[in-house]
Amino acid sequence: MSTADTAPNADKLTNRRYTETRLEHTDKQEWDAHTDNIFQAGWTHKCPTYINRTPPCQGSCPSGEDIRGWLDIVRGMEKPTHEGMSMQEYAFQRSTDANPFPSVMGRVCPAPCEDGCNRNELDDNVGINAVEQYIGDQARERGFKFKVGEQESGKKVAIIGGGPAGLAAAYQLRRMGHGATVFDDHAELGGMMMYGIPGYRVPREVLNHEMNRIVEMGVEVKLNTRVGTDATVEQLEKDYDAILWAIGCKEGRGLPIEGFDEAPNCISGVAFLEAFNDGRLKVSSEKVVCIGGGDTSIDVASVARRLGNISNIAEKDYAENVVLGHTAHDVADSANKDGADVTLLSRASMKNMPAAQHEIDDALREGVTIIDLVSPIAVIRDDIGRATALRVIKLADDGKTPIEGSEYDIEATLIVSAIGQKGDMTGIESMDNGNGFIDGDAHYQVKGKPGHFLAGDIVRPHLLTTAIGQAAIACETIDHYLRHADEDLKKRPKVDKHYFSLEKKLEDTGLAPEASPVHGHNSVRGTSDANFAIHNYENRSSNDIISHDKLFLGHFAYEERNKRDSIDVSSDEVLGHFAERLVPLAEEEVVAEAGRCMSCGMCFECDNCVIYCPQDAVLKTPKAQSTTGRYVYTDYDRCIGCHICKDVCPTGYIDMGLGD
């Protein structure tokens, strides 16, 4: 067993402590004694105000999940708003507000949120993926369901593509009360989640459950139906009020070198993985060479090692004939296998390959040979036109400059290109922008086609979480189009994410302010005792991402990260090994890991400001009126503006902004 989650960087192992406050002494702000700073403070009239900002984990999440929110729920800080609701269900609701696939994402997302985590400045990031997997797996075990919008709008949206973007869009549209019909040209839903990611990374029972939970919301599904041939765009425009294009990029790009297009045993990585994932491909080839460096190329290489090779195989059973649909492997004929010799080539250096590091490490352990800093220049073919080798040239450390005279050949019986993808525009050629994609604007409206929208890889190939985030924004645009077409769209927020809302939290807990006699229910913020105001609080989540230098890191002790284990597969064991590799954390480990979250930009009820205030001006909100984000308040008759509460606030939730 070994840890699957990446190890901390070397500088994180120094167990650094941050003990200084953030006071910056300038020429105009020096004191003879520290007590002058505490008790006199005659030079400032600024008093505390409570500012909610977006944490960097959330700011780094392409689907914009309220990560801090569901970590706070799992750790037990934020309690469910409804009596009898479990922590698990409340965390599931908060998590899936943005992303309906917590089990899938907790397993395969490369976690840019963890890269952005402010805890990296102290010891090691929070294991966000591990907690998300727990939330998703618990939802499956406990049978949690999604809720449909309270009122049906009577509007219908056609969604072209049943992958992550299309299904996420169906989910969001049904929550809004709109009808959703998903068209997909495969026999099963899932897109790249089903046909691009191997089952040992995402067990099919997990994926199917999370997809079915969306379909159960009343989503109509039409499989084996290709829009553009089986159904015309013109007919969909008549039958539906809007159309969302989420067709993905399932057509791989071949190598732009001599001989690739002509050799029958040169194929794309997406075609290879689809043939494996739909059950057609049972063996690979004797000598597989894959060109890429990203996650797709790693998956191709790892699958090829698991499938192995059959000596003296019949020509009809060559891997490329199965991948291209000319024949199908017979399981009985595939019983006796040998290991496949698999080589992965990358233009980038090993440390700069775009694939996740733990996936690279797994591939090396499983017997994949990785050669970095090389570029293919020609396919060497035999007398009948089959590829027998790939000619490459070495590159300088920049990954761009060829080294003259360094060409050499790598033997191959199957060459797989995993250098990029584009959309399959057959039947919808008018949608093509010339590069295999569809053009859209910032609101994900198809340019020049009112009523048409888009999301996912057909915009730009990226992560699953990116496609899901785009779908949510596209659905907001569709909802505006269906309900308020005569009104202009507002500019998207600078930080375009799902946020914690104190107003909604107060409403859910029965603590919503009364209507203002002047402003109605529009929130009024001030310092009076009037019960129509949300006092000394401001939500800047749509504008600011809080950085580590605004936190008081000295508050936090070093805490070892709770890491998931993985089942290491050696090169001797990899043949035929299709079991899931990740070992989930136990519940107590999940709660402990969520507890490592520093709750950046939101009060996590540590009491520092109450304890250290020399004037007893910062007080706990009475329990009957307290909730997340409303834990303390300031008595401004006592406050002298000494700034201490701000300086000892671990999460950066307090600003000295109120007053002159």
* Predicted pLDDT of residue 534: 79
Q: Average pLDDT, stretch 260-265? A: 96
* Phi and psi torsions of 263, nearest 5°: -85, 130
**pLDDT tens column, 637-654:** 888 888 899 999 999 999
Indicate if the pLDDT at residue 41 is higher than 60. Answer: no
Equal fold, 156-250+423-483 vs 253-420: yes
Cβ proximity of 418 and 269 under 8 Å: yes
| Beta carbons within 10 angstroms of residue 522's beta carbon | 9
Indicate if the pLDDT at residue 281 is higher than 90. Answer: yes
| Beta carbons within 10 angstroms of residue 150's beta carbon | 7
The partner residues of 539 in beta bridges, in order of sequence, read 52
SS3 71: helix
Q: In this predicted structure, which of 48-52, 218-222, 273-277, 369-373 has the lowest mean pLDDT? A: 48-52
Nearest to 369 by CA among 290, 281, 285: 290
Torsion angle defined by CA atoms of residues 568, 572, 576 and 581, in that order, rounded to the nearest 10 degrees: 0
Mean of pLDDT over the chain: 90
Indicate if the pLDDT at residue 391 is higher than 70. Answer: yes
The kind and range of the H/E element at 655 are strand 654-658
**pLDDT tens column, 145-204:** 999 999 999 999 999 999 999 999 999 999 999 999 999 999 999 999 999 999 999 999
Residue 279 per-residue DSSP state: T
27: pLDDT confidence band, cut at 50, 70 and 90? very low
Q: What are the extents of the domains in the chain?
A: 2-143+498-658, 156-250+423-483, 253-420
**pLDDT tens column, 294-343:** 999 999 999 999 999 998 888 888 999 999 887 776 654 555 788 999 99
User: What sign for the dihedral angle of Cα 106, 110, 115, 120?
Assistant: positive
Cβ proximity of 130 and 5 under 8 Å: yes
Indicate if the pLDDT at residue 504 is higher than 60. Answer: yes
Q: Average pLDDT, stretch 592-620? A: 95
| Beta carbons within 10 angstroms of residue 501's beta carbon | 16
The partner residues of 159 in beta bridges, in order of sequence, read 182, 244
* Predicted pLDDT of residue 333: 54
- DSSP secondary structure, 200-265, as one string: TTS-HHHHHHHHHHHHTTT-EEE-S--BTTTB-HHHHHHH-SEEEE-----EEPPP-SBTTTT-TT
Q: Which long-range contacts (CB under 8 A, 24 or more apart) does 425-430 make?
A: 426/226, 426/228, 426/229, 427/226, 427/227, 427/228, 427/229, 428/227, 428/228, 428/233
**pLDDT tens column, 551-601:** 999 999 999 999 999 999 999 999 999 999 999 999 999 999 999 999 999
382: pLDDT confidence band, cut at 50, 70 and 90? very high
* Predicted pLDDT of residue 589: 98
605: pLDDT confidence band, cut at 50, 70 and 90? very high
Q: Average pLDDT, stretch 596-609? A: 96
* Predicted pLDDT of residue 519: 61
User: What sign for the dihedral angle of Cα 491, 497, 498, 502?
Assistant: negative
Q: Average pLDDT, stretch 70-83? A: 93
Indicate if the pLDDT at residue 370 is higher than 60. Answer: yes
Rounded Cα–Cα distance for residues 509 and 152 (Å): 27
* Predicted pLDDT of residue 111: 94
**pLDDT tens column, 203-218:** 999 999 999 999 999 9
13: pLDDT confidence band, cut at 50, 70 and 90? very low
130: pLDDT confidence band, cut at 50, 70 and 90? very high
* Predicted pLDDT of residue 521: 60
> Tokens 């099963």 appear where?
188
The CATH code that applies to domain 253-420 is: 3.50.50.60
When comparing pLDDT for 293 and 40, which is higher? 293
> Tokens 């739909």 appear where?
278
Cβ proximity of 88 and 575 under 8 Å: no
* Predicted pLDDT of residue 324: 86
* Predicted pLDDT of residue 659: 54
Rounded Cα–Cα distance for residues 415 and 357 (Å): 24
* Predicted pLDDT of residue 39: 46
Instruction: Tell me how far apart the 2 most distant CA atoms of the chain are, in Å.
Output: 93
Q: In this predicted structure, which of 209-218, 389-398, 463-472, 621-630 has the lowest mean pLDDT? A: 621-630
Task: Give CATH superfamily name and number for 156-250+423-483.
Answer: FAD/NAD(P)-binding domain (3.50.50.60)
Instruction: Read off the tokens for 442.
Output: 């910032």
Rounded Cα–Cα distance for residues 100 and 164 (Å): 9
Q: Which residues make Cβ contacts (< 8 Å) with residue 62, sequence separation at least 6?
A: 112, 462, 463, 465, 466, 468, 469
